[in-house]
Structure 1
Amino acid sequence: MTAPIETTPGQAGAQPEAILEGAGRKTIEGRSLGRIAWTRFKRDKVAMAGGVVVILLILMAILAKPTEAIFNLDPNAFHQDLLDPSTTVPKGGFGGMSLAHPLGVDPQFGRDLLARIIEGSWVSMVVATGATLLSVVIGAVLGVIAGYYGGWVDSVISRAMDTFLAFPLLLFSISISASLQDGAFGLNGLKLRIAVLIFVIGFFNWPYMGRIVRGQTLSLREREFVEAARSMGARGPYILFKELMPNLVAPILVYSTLLIPTNILFEAALSFLGVGIAPPQASWGGMLNSAVDVFYADPEFMIVPGLAIFITVLAFNLLGDGLRDALDPRSK
């Protein structure tokens, strides 16, 4: 015989309907995968800081031309009066910094470094984003095809990846960029330089994305949702682009954020070597090239573009690491 359950006077009169009515006042709200990932990402303060810096850099690149027009910034305007005629070193403080020129001027022609940093930002972003987009499109499509179909298709695409990875990319980029400087494909000048850099960097880097997508596809092609699509009569293209590709968005997005800073460094390296963006167009790599000869006389001329590259690459890497942890909690 069980003992009676003791109740307090307040609980004795409580009816089940009243209890259920009180519990229903706070409904349980479901969360999507995107919202869960955003919640995880917000907890990573370092990644959030990197994301804020990336957004500011993108806005600076997009608004470069309007900013120069509004604040009357001319990246190619000479200010010879700001240079010491005997040493060609900027007058005044460190690198010629002043209220009119917050980052100083270059020791060659007295050009404003802030204006040249802003002008160089859109060049780096356009080249890096375009090359990354080209790599992602080619690598994702060929990677998912190789992983899903397997067999001889996988063998052909995989050997193509190995062939592209065996290319001495830096030497190949230098030779192509140097040979197409005058004009080609109806383009010349800055447009041709940017198009060549996007093609060279993006086309020869797609195997890195292709390998990642292929590996993820191999683990997804035997999942239940793919088998269900096959059983309903879905053909290969439908399964590739409607079933598999949406599930590959997360790794593609993460690797893209890590590929952009690599492409920024590659563009800066080519411009530093003199086969990228040609002067007088401002570019961060070209500014570093110009600073080599005057480093000991004016080290600030090299520090400014070097810090711009360093901060940009670091911000994208922090953002990519945060996205990886947020979209794949098993990596923690």
Structure 2
Amino acid sequence: MTTPIDTTPAAPGEPAATASAGPASIEGRSLGRIAWLRFRRDKAAVAGGVVVILLVLLAVLAKPIESVFGLSPDALHQDLLDPNLGSLPIGSFGGMSASHPLGVDPLQGRDLLSRIIEGSWVSLLVAFGATVLSNTIGTVLGVMAGYYGGWVDTVISRIMDTFLAFPLLLFAISISASLQGGAFGLHGLPLHLAVLIFVIGFFNWPYMGRIVRGQTLSLREREFVFAARSLGARGPFILFKELLPNLVGPILVYSTLLIPTNILFEAALSFLGVGIQPPQASWGGMLNDAIKYYQVDPEYMVVPGLAIFITVLAFNLLGDGLRDALDPRSN
């Protein structure tokens, strides 16, 4: 039996009973808020995101940090090297001290901490620049191939297959080595950065193109695309106003997974001597310099190796968390 409703008028001075006395109303949540709540529950992804933010801040503020703390990546400290030990750093653990927390290199006594900070902006600049270039080309061509289909899809797909057939590492080595002297009015560090961004980004776009093409093939059959067509919208409007906003999630997730790949690629080219050239500090170049000393001074190899490892791991954790958070089928 249900409880009868009390219709007795309220006494003067007493609040009247309202319908709000029942259960609390349900508050709607946007897709962005739902994704944030999912992402926040993944502690590993949150930790990766925090590390990524700190790395980006370190790279952006590298020069101010060096000037404030008096760090110089190219300053020589020959007095910290022992000539009787083959110019190895004086002391244990690569010459660690209060002035040089990570030690000095066994080549010329340069401070490892300042060189790690200096190399951070190089690696992240190349990685982000190459990712933006490859994502731009891959997204535009991928969405066109998936939406128009037919001969457009066939031509773009065959171009993707052609690029994927290139031996990328050998091709990057040959291009980087041939442009070391100067090209396009650029010389030195700007030339090396531009070549690395172009080589890594231009030849990696088919990976993003395939992902965007597959997503577009599914989205073009959705109701909102048919509604746009029925209202007279043409192809370019549907591509850039209807389809691309719905591809932000996959593009963002794959970008966070592509950035660490580009960091490793830049480090590999610098390690092989065709990337960033000395005296500019780079993590791959530091690993190359450490080859001759890793048995007697492993500190010089461990420090840049850990920098690459932590950076790549942080981006991978962030990418996995974003993938789970943006997946509408996840709980």
What band does the TM-score fall into relative to the shorter chain? over 0.9
Q: Which residue of 1 aligns with 2:249?
A: 250
4+ residue segments displaced more than 6 Å: none
| TM-score (structure 1 length as normaliser) | 0.95
Identify the match of residue 84 of structure 2 among 86, 89, 94.
86
Q: Letter of the aligned partner of 1:68 in structure 2?
A: E
Shift in CA distance, 77/155, structure 1 to aligned 2, threshold 3 Å: same
Q: Percent identity?
A: 77
The answer as to 2:37 corresponding to 1:39 is yes
Whole-angstrom distance in 1 between the partners of 2:323 and 2:294? 39
Whole-angstrom distance in 2 between the partners of 1:55 and 1:264? 16
Q: CA deviation at 1:5?
A: 4.6
Q: CA deviation at 1:77?
A: 0.4
Shift in CA distance, 14/64, structure 1 to aligned 2, threshold 3 Å: farther
Q: CA deviation at 1:86?
A: 1.2
Whole-angstrom distance in 1 between the partners of 2:20 and 2:27? 17
The answer as to 2:133 corresponding to 1:147 is no
CA distances 1:169-192 after superposition (whole Å, capped 9, x unpaired)? 000000000000011001000000
| TM-score (structure 2 length as normaliser) | 0.95
Q: CA deviation at 1:18?
A: 1.9
Whole-angstrom distance in 2 between the partners of 1:5 and 1:159? 71
Whole-angstrom distance in 2 between the partners of 1:328 and 1:120? 35
Moved more, 84-93 or 229-238: 84-93
**Aligned residues, how many?**
325
Q: CA deviation at 1:12?
A: 5.0
Q: CA deviation at 1:212?
A: 0.1
CA distances 1:121-146 after superposition (whole Å, capped 9, x unpaired)? 00000000000000000000000000
Identify the match of residue 68 of structure 1 among 66, 75, 90.
66
1:301-316 pair list within 5 angstroms = 301-316=300-315
Whole-angstrom distance in 2 between the partners of 1:319 and 1:40? 13
Q: CA deviation at 1:247?
A: 0.1
Whole-angstrom distance in 2 between the partners of 1:160 and 1:258? 23
Counterpart secondary structure, 2:252: helix
Q: CA deviation at 1:27?
A: 4.6
CA distances 1:259-317 after superposition (whole Å, capped 9, x unpaired)? 00000000000000000000010000000000000111100100000000000000000
Q: CA deviation at 1:48?
A: 0.0
List runs of 5+ in structure 2 lacking aligned partners: 10-15
The answer as to 2:119 corresponding to 1:124 is no
Shift in CA distance, 94/227, structure 1 to aligned 2, threshold 3 Å: same
CA distances 1:189-239 after superposition (whole Å, capped 9, x unpaired)? 000000000000000000000000000000000100000000000000000
The answer as to 2:155 corresponding to 1:162 is no
Counterpart secondary structure, 1:29: coil
List runs of 5+ in structure 1 lacking aligned partners: none
